[in-house]
Each structure stands twice: as C-alpha cells, then as structure tokens.
C-alpha cells in the first residue's frame, strides 16, 4: 500500500510538471512538440540516472526508487520507461526484440491513437 501511495504522489507531480512544460514550450515551434520532446528526453535521462544510481551505488532505497522512477518518471513521461526497456534489450543482445518492440510500439501506438479518435466519433 505504501508503494502505491509513493507511485501516486510521484506520478501526480510528474504529470503536473509535464503539463506545465508542454503547455509552455509546445507553442514555440511550428510542427514540432518541443515541450513533449524535451520532457521525453529529460525523462529518459532521469530514469537512467535514478535506476543506475539505485542499482550500482545503492544510493536510493527501494521506496525512493519507486517514488522517483516508477512514480515521477512514469507520470512525467512513459517514454522514459520504454527507452529504458529498449536499452535493456540492446544490452542483452536482443536486437530482434529491440527492433520489433520499437517498430511495433510506434506503429501500433499511432494506429491506436487514430483508432481511439475514430471510435470516439462514432456516437456523434
């Protein structure tokens, strides 16, 4: 129960920060979501630092890691979790899985968004 609360708190803070950054920076460039892009890249950097320090240096307790990596980074950007998983596949030499996961996530994710938008219009 404690870990669920930590994830909830970290995720809420991460989500609010993502909203503020994206809302502030996305309008700056035409046809490029600068805020979202930066959030994704910073989230990837943060999850790498957090999980690296947690596993190698034992700097963070398990609960702190859950709060920061799963909660904050998960709320800030789920792209960070995807990128970490991709890194793990590369590190383990799973190049086919890496490629399949990357291509399928992008292609099916974009398709799912389009399908969801289409389904949401059916009742109109």
Express each pLDDT in 39-85 by its tens digit. Answer: 999 999 999 999 988 887 788 899 999 999 999 999 999 788 889 88
What's 124's DSSP letter?
A: -
Question: Of 16-20, 45-49, 114-118, where does mean pLDDT reach its minimum?
Answer: 114-118
Q: What are the sequence ranges of the domains in the chain?
A: 2-77
pTM confidence score = 0.79
Q: Which residues contact 76 (CB under 8 A, 6 or more apart)?
A: 14, 15, 17, 18, 39, 42, 43, 46
Q: What is the DSSP string of 79-109?
A: HHHHHHHHHHHHHTT-HHHHHHHHHHHHHHH
Return the pLDDT at 123.
62
Q: Rounded mean pLDDT of the chain? A: 91
């Amino acid at each position: 129960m404690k870990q669920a609360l930590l994830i909830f708190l970290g995720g809420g803070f991460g989500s609010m920060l993502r909203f503020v950054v994206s809302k502030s920076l996305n309008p700056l460039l035409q046809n490029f979501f600068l805020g979202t892009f930066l959030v994704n890249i910073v989230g990837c950097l943060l999850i790498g630092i957090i999980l690296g320090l947690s596993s190698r240096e034992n700097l963070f307790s398990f609960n702190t890691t859950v709060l920061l990596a799963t909660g904050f980074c998960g709320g800030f950007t789920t792209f960070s979790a995807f990128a970490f998983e991709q890194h793990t596949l590369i590190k383990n030499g799973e190049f086919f899985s890496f490629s399949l996961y990357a291509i399928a996530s992008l292609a099916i994710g974009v398709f799912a968004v389009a399908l969801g938008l289409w389904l949401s219009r059916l009742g109109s």
